[in-house]
Structure 1
Amino acid sequence: MLWNEPNNLSHWDFDADPGWRRFSEMVRLAGAAVRAERPGLTRVLGGTSPIDAGFLRLVESQGALAEVDAVAVHGFPLDWNHWQIQEWPARLAEITAAVRLPVWVSEVGVSSFGAEEVQEWGLRRTAELLLGRAPRIHWYSLFDLPRAWPATTRHREAEGSSYYRHFYMGLIREDGTPKPALAAFPALAPGLGICQWFHFEDPRLDAGVRWLKDLGVRHLRTGLSWADSFRPGWEAWFDRQMRALEPFEVTVTFCFTPEHRGLKPHHTSPPREPEEYADFCARMVRRYA
């Protein structure tokens, strides 16, 4: 998967890239580089959030879809989106009509911020609405985000309750205990996969693998950070993570600009040289695919 939420300022600084022209070039180069390394490997444009057919038509006109095999969307109608959960089929149909490519749901979830019973209901209703309608569906997420870690959002605490919902998206609480929705998940797998981001040297990796196996998960989405590839010990961590995830069909998201390689010193910045991102994607495919 090439990038993540490119139409969201939390993941791509489109003020520094008006019209997403740099983004479109970067994705086209990265997709071609992946194809050269591993012909036939499915290449997916990073999931959009919000779901926006107009955005996909724009980047398609600039060549961004020339080297991908599918597009993806993210939806959280019970937490952040301004539409209702029963609209999911219509949202998918809108994107399919716009780009005529398979449409993955690479993140869908419900927080337990208000009540854990709401999350359980949302999981079941999401499955009713989406299973059979998309080639891949990844529930976000397995674990709650630890409160000591920052959520990757635009304005953090200034977002009010919207920010704090990020910390309650998991099926498992920060203390390792299961929420009610967890018991409902095995009946929905393997049709429903999981999206779980593992941070650099994440202490939850081994426990995560055990839980995923117990739940019957086949499809897992996670990420390898381009920015992390400049940390000391990155090779050992990447190798350990990918080795631990070998039992699953893994969608790996390549994302996050190294600060010293961006137009701005920030992980959301367009890179100075888009070929460097393409090279990172090729190297990771060569190493792990």
Structure 2
Amino acid sequence: MIEAAMIWNEPNNKSHWDPEVDPDWSLFADTVSRAGASIAAVNPAVTRVLGGMSPIDPLWVKRLEAHGCLDAVDVLAVHGFPLDWNLWSIHDWPAKIAEIEAVTDKPVWVTEVGVGSFGAEEVQVFGVEKTAELLIGRVPRIYWYSLFDLPQEWGATTRHREAEGSSYYRHFYMGLIREDGTPKPSLDSYAKVASEMGLMQWFHFEDPRLDDAVTWMKRLGTKKLRTGLSWADSFRPNATDWFDRQMEALAEFDTTVTFCFTPEHLGIQPHHTSAARDPQAFADFCAWMIDRYAPAAVTNQKAVA
């Protein structure tokens, strides 16, 4: 069910990793080293991906390299939203990829790229088409963020929420399908490249959109999906049942699963962005998920077949 495992999400973004707890990313580097080793010990065929960086920052890559953790991953990943949050043009995508390629010999994936419809749905159509033109054939993996708009009542995972002004509200308009389930014009543009551009879709705990997502992805011809399994959610009642249901529903897609979100009771600070007091506990969670959903025996049988 899992072809790749991503270790955390946007760790150089303070909305996902607390820089006050870990100002030099040394704790994050230790987390990556342990998680990467644990994943490989369970199934070395699973590709290990460093959590997608946002912003795209070659100096941050060099900092992690100095901490010695890049040997624990096979791929580096970047995220970019040039028409919504980044201070660079969408036309700069090839140059942004080249910045990271210049400081690593590992493949570079684009594990989140998106353009919202906050201002106008026509802008999103342009964004899908221009992104496809610039990135298909340029990088091995591309994942469009996202299939569904984020429901307003759920709230977006950011540091300062509504105080961020329009930057916050853009989070709710990144989908190809509106909150009410109706498709936006951009869905037709995506459908033309669905076999070459995957989708990134977070599923909340017991997300009611899961079955609809599977139906849409089959209809669109999407082959590759990126999603997440939350370490924090693993402590909820019935967590394993939900994880099983989610992964069974997604079984026919080539899935990259992101492992992230610190349980409050295990963090140095009681927040999902905090480094854990014991980073091996996160590595053990990653190993458990790989053993449950991508055990080596199953992977090897598929390879032989």
1:6 to 2:1 alignment: no
The residue number in structure 1 matching 2:277 is 272
1:63 to 2:68 alignment: yes
The residue number in structure 1 matching 2:220 is 215
Aligned structure 1 segments of 4 or more residues deviating by more than 3 angstroms: none
The residue number in structure 2 matching 1:101 is 106
Once residues 100 and 111 of structure 1 are traced to their aligned partners in structure 2, the CA distance between those partners, rounded to angstroms, is 32
Cα deviation for residue 119 of structure 1 reads 0.2
The residue number in structure 2 matching 1:54 is 59
TM-score with structure 1 length normalisation? Answer: 0.99
The residue number in structure 2 matching 1:162 is 167
The residue number in structure 1 matching 2:3 is none
Once residues 249 and 282 of structure 1 are traced to their aligned partners in structure 2, the CA distance between those partners, rounded to angstroms, is 19
The one-letter code of the counterpart of 1:223 is G
Query: What is the DSSP-based 3-state SS (H/G/I as helix, E as strand, rest coil) of the residue aligned with 1:73?
Result: strand
1:238 to 2:243 alignment: yes
Superposed CA RMSD in Å reads 0.5
For residue 129 of structure 1, the aligned residue among 126, 131, 134 is 134
Query: What is the DSSP-based 3-state SS (H/G/I as helix, E as strand, rest coil) of the residue aligned with 2:102?
Result: helix
Query: What is the DSSP-based 3-state SS (H/G/I as helix, E as strand, rest coil) of the residue aligned with 2:158?
Result: coil
Cα deviation for residue 154 of structure 1 reads 1.3
Cα deviation for residue 92 of structure 1 reads 0.3
The gaps in structure 2 that reach 5 residues or longer are 1-5, 295-305
Query: What is the DSSP-based 3-state SS (H/G/I as helix, E as strand, rest coil) of the residue aligned with 1:286?
Result: helix
**1:1-289 superposed matches below 5 A:** 1-289=6-294
Cα deviation for residue 187 of structure 1 reads 1.1
Cα deviation for residue 75 of structure 1 reads 0.2
TM-score with structure 2 length normalisation? Answer: 0.94
CA deviation digits over 1:148-175, x for unaligned, max 9?
0110111100100000000000000000
Once residues 99 and 155 of structure 1 are traced to their aligned partners in structure 2, the CA distance between those partners, rounded to angstroms, is 33
Query: What is the DSSP-based 3-state SS (H/G/I as helix, E as strand, rest coil) of the residue aligned with 1:99?
Result: coil
The one-letter code of the counterpart of 2:142 is I
Query: What is the percentage of aligned positions where both structures have the same residue?
Result: 65
Once residues 274 and 168 of structure 1 are traced to their aligned partners in structure 2, the CA distance between those partners, rounded to angstroms, is 35
Once residues 88 and 144 of structure 1 are traced to their aligned partners in structure 2, the CA distance between those partners, rounded to angstroms, is 24
Q: Which moved more, 1:250-259 or 1:94-103?
A: 94-103
CA deviation digits over 1:182-236, x for unaligned, max 9?
0111211211000000000000000000001111000000000000000000010
Once residues 215 and 20 of structure 1 are traced to their aligned partners in structure 2, the CA distance between those partners, rounded to angstroms, is 39
The residue number in structure 1 matching 2:302 is none
| Number of positions where the alignment pairs a residue of Structure 1 with one of Structure 2 | 289
The one-letter code of the counterpart of 2:268 is L
CA deviation digits over 1:73-113, x for unaligned, max 9?
00000000000000000000110111221000000000000
Once residues 228 and 97 of structure 2 are traced to their aligned partners in structure 1, the CA distance between those partners, rounded to angstroms, is 24
The one-letter code of the counterpart of 2:28 is F
The one-letter code of the counterpart of 2:21 is A
Query: What is the DSSP-based 3-state SS (H/G/I as helix, E as strand, rest coil) of the residue aligned with 2:72?
Result: coil
Cα deviation for residue 21 of structure 1 reads 0.3
The one-letter code of the counterpart of 2:126 is W
Which is bigger in relative contact order (C-alpha 8 A, separation at least 6)? 2
